[in-house]
Structure 1
């Protein structure tokens, strides 16, 4: 429950500082925590892996929204998404650099004996499992495609 307690403490600080952007983001995270705790089978408790999953999901949603808002020229909404992403990012583990991801994926490809794009599913499954929480799925996919197309 460390995440929930951390969120509550930061919400208190954000309220005192009248930081609306941070407060909005923290409230969204708290809502996800409550939603995860009340799902059938959760038993009112969530583990760290579940916390990381929904934080990553929230980041992906905001990245996608940011991309759409920038394409549509909605700078006002894009700024809000960037603010929320910065707050959510504080609670996620540090993401690996692209070069590090590439090294790990190269090893997975060698271990799996993958040689062509037809082996992408096999490589993606292993890479996604190994890099869970450390890298974005889209980045992993792009690197796997690039390495298998050589």
Structure 2
């Protein structure tokens, strides 16, 4: 167990509450409420943020895009684990993973519906002049950039394939 990670000084930043400050506050709230699932999820986010910051260099702040990608990766890991546990008939292990994914998703921007994603992808296809599966990479690149944080890659990919077929 690592001690001292959760009360790092904020160095007097006056901007709107950063993700890290928000996570620190939520950790305190989860501790007060004795919510172990939330606490585990929040500590996982904090750990991933600190790890990502040390990779980029201690003086550099993570961009909001990097934070969103990191949170999406954490959600995807938990959903994938829950899928595997469900396939193995271990609902007792799948449930906490899904609960953690739901807690982490609260820190992500609102996700678009499939019809909204479809409208954006259709627009990208018409802009790029894509006509078939050979153009999937071009459309995926533009769609992923435009929908960053608002939709997961798997959903975007499925819709792009459907529209290009």
Scaled by the length of structure 2, the TM-score of the pair is: 0.86
Structure 1 gaps, min length 5: none
Decide which of 80, 83, 86 is 2:96's aligned counterpart. Answer: 80
Q: Distance in 2 between matches of 1:135 and 1:43?
A: 30
- CA shift, 1:66, in A, is 1.4
Decide which of 47, 50, 71 is 2:63's aligned counterpart. Answer: 47
Q: 3-state DSSP class of the match of 2:130?
A: coil
Q: Distance in 2 between matches of 1:143 and 1:17?
A: 41
Greater mean alpha carbon deviation, residues 109-118 or residues 38-47: 38-47
Matched, 1:132 2:148: yes
Greater mean alpha carbon deviation, residues 39-48 or residues 98-107: 39-48
Equivalent residue, structure 2, for 1:26: 42
Decide which of 92, 107, 110 is 1:91's aligned counterpart. Answer: 107
Q: Distance in 2 between matches of 1:40 and 1:26?
A: 21
Equivalent residue, structure 1, for 2:26: 10
Kept in 2: contact 1:37–1:44 (CA 8 A): yes
Q: Distance in 1 between matches of 2:59 and 2:52?
A: 10
Structure 2 gaps, min length 5: 1-16
Q: 3-state DSSP class of the match of 1:4?
A: helix
Q: Distance in 1 between matches of 2:141 and 2:64?
A: 22
Decide which of 108, 118, 139 is 1:123's aligned counterpart. Answer: 139
Q: How many residues align?
A: 149
Q: Distance in 2 between matches of 1:60 and 1:66?
A: 10
Q: Which runs of 4+ in 1 moved over 3 A?
A: none
